[in-house]
Amino acid sequence: MSNSVIIREAKKEDMHQVCQLIKDLAVFENCEDQCKMTPELLMEDGFDTENPLFKSFVADRNNQVIGYAIYFNSYSTWLGKSTFLEDLYVDSKYRGQGIGRKLFLSVAKVAKQNKSKRLDLHCLAWNPALEFYKKIGATNITESESWNYVRINGCDLDKLFD
């Protein structure tokens, strides 16, 4: 068997392995207590609906998913169609082999084919991947434009209607 890595579109049956990698990412980001994802939810939201909420690429090595990228269409009121890269993660045992770059380029290619005007993502300030993104031409708009990433979590969202 070959040890080569294939980047391909994710399939429904990959979601158990992708979910484990999502949990690994949450551990890496020191947020494992916040990760509530299940394979069933991934399957429902990405595959069991007429309008999937996300699309995904996986890095496949001998039928083992060792990395993934999840993205979705978004919209800029200034520019139009956009793509948002929600997650890009490679198992720590396989980093430094260009797999993350290949996953990223797969998403970027889709964004270009879809005529997206931009590809957005977020990255923790301490994550070494931030340097990778800067090297390939990404702009840290927190620094350049003083944009803040803001979130209202489920409990607080519920409180708006209490």
Give catalytic residue positions.
133
Backbone angles phi, psi at 70, to 5 degrees: -115, 130
Distance CA 58, CA 107 (A): 11
* Structure token pair of residue 46: 């990405």
DSSP secondary structure string for all residues of 108-149: HHHHHHTT-S-EEE---TT-THHHHHHHTT---HHHHS----
Distance CA 103, CA 67 (A): 8
